[in-house]
Amino acid sequence: MTTLLFRDDPYLQEAAATVVGHTEEGALIVDRSVFYATGGGQPGDSGTILWSGGRMAIATALKLDADLIALVPAEPVAMPPPGTEIRQILDWERRYRHMRVHTALHLLSVVIPLPVTGGQIGTDRGRLDFDMPEPPGDPAPLEAALNALVDRDLPVSDSWISDDELLANPGLVKTMSVRPPVGQGWVRLVRIGSGADQVDLQPCGGTHVARTGEIGRVTLGKIENKGRQNRRISIHLGD
């Protein structure tokens, strides 16, 4: 099992780990990962690992199954053998922008309270696809409402519920295309706001900023028609 350090502390930028194996494709399996593994529309993290006498650039991280994460080298190089102690160093600027975009997309799903049919996160932009029969006439009020939530500087936190509790509360799930993973007993929820100021609560395994004010100014891109009732809405981060 790989300990998911990024889930416990998304601001952690470096950490020690031990190589526990190699995949047939040439990736490193580690016992602890500061690198987020691709999933939920969020790309896997990149960065560098160091060990005694060696260095390797990491292109991304992938889930092998529910319990293991593999680090994918950016280029073919000699890999540290199992048992090697390594130092993981995250490409923090890239990760932090993913965190800002991901949290902004949660807010977009608040501003547009419709079922989500897909999504993607990048370093400068992100998008959600909505089950939306008609596009909004004027996107300016949506952008203003989104930035108003950012400016409230709401806290972002997480908690856990059981599979049974999630099944009993289907309204928590906003995504139609990707269902939260069940079968392990517990599902992680990400909450934006607290108490009377709570604006969002939904299952999510990704990394997020601690407060919405960290997102910064967000602008809406064009609204695209991706089907009879499917509208794609993009957001763009400021600097």
Give the pLDDT of the chain (239 residues) as one tens digit per residue. 899 999 999 999 999 999 999 999 999 999 999 999 998 899 999 999 999 989 999 999 999 976 899 999 999 888 999 999 999 999 999 999 999 999 999 999 999 999 999 999 999 999 999 999 887 778 899 999 999 999 999 999 999 888 888 888 877 877 766 666 655 678 889 999 999 999 999 999 999 999 999 999 999 998 888 877 789 999 999 87
Q: Which two tokens stand for residue 163?
A: 């599979």
The domain ranges of the chain are 3-90, 95-237
Token digits for 209?
């900023």
The pTM is what?
A: 0.93
Phi-psi region of 216 (alpha: psi -120 to 50; beta: other; left: phi over 0): left
For residues 229 and 128, the answer to whether their CB atoms sit within 8 Å is no
Helix (H, G, I), strand (E, B) or coil at 61: strand
Residue 135 has a pLDDT of: 79
CA 227, 125, 122, 99 dihedral sign is: negative
Q: What ranges in 46-192 are assigned the alpha helix state H?
A: 92-111, 140-151, 163-168
What pLDDT was estimated at residue 56? 96
At 179 the pLDDT is 63
The tokens for 228 are 């009879």
In single-letter form, the type of residue at position 146 comes to: L
pLDDT of 183 reads: 56
Classify domain 3-90 by CATH number: 2.40.30.130
The structural architecture, per CATH, of the domain 95-237 is 2-Layer Sandwich (3.30)
95-237: same fold as 3-90?
no
